[in-house]
């Protein structure tokens, strides 16, 4: 009986952490910030996309700062640039969800791992992208945030990792920052919106909070 009580105690301790994480995350996800409607004209368009789990920010070429555009690999007919940030091992070892392993998930969530920026290029918009109107100041801030996430080499260039893209229209670049359960791919996008004065969540590791705000 004592052994059973000890086992149940340790099981309870193990379970309380993820349950608490989810509950706190849900609460913070539904607390909006930058919710005030500004009087400035929102003449620029950016987009938000999700694969069902992972958010990315899409910026049209015409709205992408040249400090970013001039350092990226792309061809002339690619007009939209999608930026996602995440765990390096997860990106490299998990091209599809079928490739996901427990070891990869554990390292990403708990080991404060190194990160990459995933850049995907499109020739046209997609129907499932959420349209977000921003003013000039918001556009500048989100460009600055994305640029500062890239890890630059001694020459000031972005560090492209050749051959790691999933298709012909995407690439990976070395990034600043470490990934963990408090700094996820989706919280990176949310932070970009928060720091750019765009409507966002107080904090969220999920994709649906931002998507619901901008539907």
pLDDT of residue 14: 55
pLDDT of residue 53: 85
- Which regions of the chain are under pLDDT 70? 1-15, 37-39, 94-112
Tens-place pLDDT, residues 153-170:
988 899 999 988 999 999
Q: Cα separation of 161 and 193, whole Å?
A: 27
pLDDT of residue 212: 93
Q: Are the C-beta atoms of 83 and 60 separated by less than 8 Å?
A: no
- State phi, psi for 197 to the nearest 5 degrees: 60, 30
pLDDT of residue 36: 77
Q: What is the pTM of this model?
A: 0.87
Q: Cα separation of 191 and 194, whole Å?
A: 5
Tens-place pLDDT, residues 107-121:
545 555 789 999 999
Q: Cα separation of 70 and 132, whole Å?
A: 24
Residue 14, both tokens: 């193990």
Contacts of 122 (CB under 8 A, 6+ apart): 58, 78, 79, 80, 81, 82, 169
Residue 148, both tokens: 């500062």
Q: Are the C-beta atoms of 108 and 91 separated by less than 8 Å?
A: no
R_g over Cα of the chain: 19
């Amino acid at each position: 009986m004592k052994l059973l009580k000890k086992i149940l105690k340790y099981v309870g301790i193990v379970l309380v952490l993820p349950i608490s994480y989810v509950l706190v995350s849900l609460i913070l996800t539904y607390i909006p910030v930058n919710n005030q409607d500004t009087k400035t004209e929102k003449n620029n368009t950016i987009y938000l996309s999700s694969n069902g789990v992972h958010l990315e920010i899409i910026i049209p070429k015409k709205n992408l700062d040249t400090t970013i555009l001039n350092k990226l690999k792309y061809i002339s007919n690619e007009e939209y640039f999608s930026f996602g940030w995440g765990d390096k091992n997860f990106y490299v070892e998990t091209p599809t969800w079928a490739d996901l392993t427990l070891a990869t998930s554990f390292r990403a969530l708990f080991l404060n791992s190194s990160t990459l920026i995933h850049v995907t290029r499109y020739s046209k918009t997609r129907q499932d992208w959420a349209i977000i109107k921003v003013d000039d100041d918001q556009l500048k801030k989100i460009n600055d945030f994305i640029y500062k996430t890239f890890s630059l080499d001694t020459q000031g260039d972005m560090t492209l990792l050749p051959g790691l893209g999933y298709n012909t229209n995407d690439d990976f670049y070395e990034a600043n920052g470490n990934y963990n359960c408090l700094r996820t791919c989706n919280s990176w996008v949310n932070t970009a919106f928060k720091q750019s004065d765009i409507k966002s969540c107080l904090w969220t590791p999920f994709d649906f909070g931002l998507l619901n705000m901008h539907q």
